Structure formats: structure tokens, C-alpha cells
Amino acid sequence: MEPKPWLRALIPYPPGKTLAEIKKELSLDGPIYKLNSNENPLGPSPRVISALAETLGEIHLYPEASYLTLREAIGKKFSVSPEEVILGNGSNEIIEFIFKAYIDEDDTIIVSKPSFLMYEKFAQIYGIKTVEVALRKDYKHDLESILKAVSPNTKAIFLDHPHNPTGSTLTWDEFTDFLKEVPQSCFIILDEAYGDFVEDPNVIRGIELFKKYPNLIVLRTFSKAYGLAGLRLGFGIAQNPIIDNLNRVRQPFNVNILALKAGLAVLEDSEYVKKYIKLVSDGRNFLQKELELLGFKVYPSQANFIMVDFGGTCEELYSYLLRKGFILRPLKAYGFETALRITIGTEEANKALVKEIKNFLLQKA
């Protein structure tokens, strides 16, 4: 049996390795600082742990089919109606809903180059042509060039915002001007996986715009600020007709009962979320200051990670840090040959990282 012809060239998404895999491969005995997958280093909320413990006795039952309780909780937090919310097994699944419900084989999508790899992966899976538009020189989405790339066949534009892996953002003025120019027949998918970490009031928040623009779909996740990466829970927000159509292609019970209960619990734990967002803000500022003092280029970020250009020492530094138990994300696959992406860790992890980079530089001197 042969797969569909276009799948032969598909390379699966390269996920970050687990702590167990890393320990086994490198034979590390000391502490390991996993700073490569933008996970929440605080661990899950205590309320989530309690909710999961209480739910274990119910896992032989299907969850609530409509997920109304969680959609209502999300609606309350973000001032939207439950009918404007759809849940997914991670926000990735909602991206796939969009392909299933709206994008045909003769359509095209536009993505920035580089950006989150799954946009292009889904396009390959469904045999859809992808048009790539290079980032601007400041590593922001080039909205002007994206508009020029729009054709009658363009069905969707995918924008990760803040951008991954650079952490760059867009302003209200430039994005709303862009929205006005995009044809109504073309969806704009604003992937705000890192939206909870945005501090700058000049940076757009799609949840405040979708009611005015019927072709705007906003994606959010519980994997980052809410500490539920392992349970795979995400949601999309859009006007009701879009949500209704996405629900038509959604599998029943696509979100499991543990993820459902965990999502409800963490939304009630605002102190946990605030604590982590502050940790990211403080750690981001600390790492930027310290690494710039060491002479490295740190790109401005509004996410829970930073991209750092380590120049000619990048590969050697990465390998050195790996042996010392620091797992960072190389960015060759994104076209940044001399840069690494660093997830903001705990205060202990951030300080230990800077100390080890200093040790590396001393050895090189």
C-alpha cells in the first residue's frame, strides 16, 4: 500500500525530547534544566493535582460531550460567549479543524518563513500548497509582503504571535491596517500560544479584534502559562458561524476528561498563573541583561522564551551546556544557524545558566 503521493516528502515534526530520554542519552546524574520546549517550569497548579485525583475514579466514563462548562469558563475569562469557543486536543488540533472544514486541494495558505512548523506540516498532509513569505529584517511578520502574496486561491494566512522562535510582535495599527486589506474570503489565523506573556500594551491581542473581523480565528493553549502541556488542551476563538463549522469536523470527545477537569481547575487558580507570568517577565529581563553584558545579541521577546545569537560559538556552547545538563533549542531548522532559543526557567535555572555560560567563556579565553 502506498500513501498519498505528496506524503512521501513529509518529514514529521521534530518534538523536544523528554527528561528521561535526555538523561539516558547523555548519562547525566546531576540536575537537568529543560529549557528547550517552552514548558512551565513550576509544575502543575496544586488545584490541578487535586482535580485530577478526584477525577481518576471517573475515567471509565466519557466526558461532557459539549464541554460547555469549560467553554463557559473560558468565555468568562476572556469576555466571549461559549458559542465563540471551540476546544481541541492542543491548539494543533484546531489548526487541523480549519484544514478539514475550509481548505481545499486547489487552495493555498501563506505562512511566514520561519514560523511554527505545524502550519506547513498540515498543509503537506492535506496536499495544500504553501506560500512562504520571509520575515522582515527585524524578524517580524512582513505583513506588506504577505498582502502582496495573496491571490484568489489564498484561503488562509497563519501568523504565530508572538512569533516563534524570535518572540517578535506586531502593533495594533499595523495589524488592524492589515486586517482591513485581507479579502473576507481569506482566513487570518492568529496563533497566540504565547499571548498570556505579552506585557506591552502596544502589542495586539486577537481576542479583542475577532468580533469586528469575521475572518479572524484566534488560537490559545493551556500548554504554556497554565502548565498543562502533557494533557494537550487548547482552544480557538472566532465568530459563531466559524465555530459551528469547525465543530462539524471535530471528533466527539476529542478532549479527554482529565484535560477537561484540569482546564477548569487552573482557570480558577489565578494566583498560580500570575506567579508564572511574573517569573517569565523577571527571568526574561534578567537573561536579556546578563547575556547582553556578555556580548551576545538577544532579540526582544514578549513570549516565555528568548532567541539569542551566540555567533561562531553557538554549536560549541550548545554541546557544552548539554553536557552540563542545560537543554536549549538549536534553531538551524528555522534558518538561524548561530542562534539558540532559551525557555525562561526558574530563578535558579536562569542564574545557573548564566554562570555556566560564563564558565564556558572563561575556558575559551
SS3 for 217? Answer: strand
Q: Residue 179 belongs to a domain with what CATH number?
A: 3.40.640.10
32 vs 34: CA distance, rounded Å: 6
Contact between 172 and 200 under an 8 Å Cβ cutoff? The reply is: no
Per-residue model confidence (pLDDT) at position 356: 97
Per-residue model confidence (pLDDT) at position 126: 93
106/240 same-domain check? yes
Half-sphere exposure of 117 (CA within 13 A, CB side): 11
261/358 same-domain check? no
23/118 same-domain check? no
The domain in which residue 307 lies consists of 5-43+271-364
97/152 same-domain check? yes
115/214 same-domain check? yes
182 vs 174: CA distance, rounded Å: 13
Q: Residue 15 belongs to a domain with what CATH number?
A: 3.90.1150.10
User: Mind giving me the DSSP string for 302-320?
Assistant: SSSEEEEE-GGGHHHHHHH
223/351 same-domain check? no
Q: How many domains does one find in the chain?
A: 2
Per-residue pLDDT of the chain (365 residues; tens, 9 = 90+): 666 766 666 666 666 666 677 777 777 777 889 999 999 999 999 999 999 999 999 999 999 889 999 999 999 999 999 999 999 999 999 999 999 999 999 999 999 999 988 999 999 999 999 999 999 999 999 999 999 999 999 999 999 999 999 999 999 999 999 999 999 999 999 999 999 999 999 999 999 999 999 999 999 999 999 999 999 999 999 999 999 999 999 999 999 999 999 999 999 999 999 999 999 999 999 999 999 999 999 999 999 999 999 999 999 999 999 999 999 999 998 899 999 999 999 999 999 999 999 999 999 77
Quickly tell me which residue has 575556558 as its cell. Answer: 363
Is the Cα torsion angle 189, 41, 18, 269 positive or negative in sign?
negative
Task: Label residue 293 exposed, middle or buried (CB < 10 Å: 0-12, 13-18, 19+).
Answer: exposed
Per-residue model confidence (pLDDT) at position 132: 97
The model's pTM: 0.93
Per-residue model confidence (pLDDT) at position 117: 87
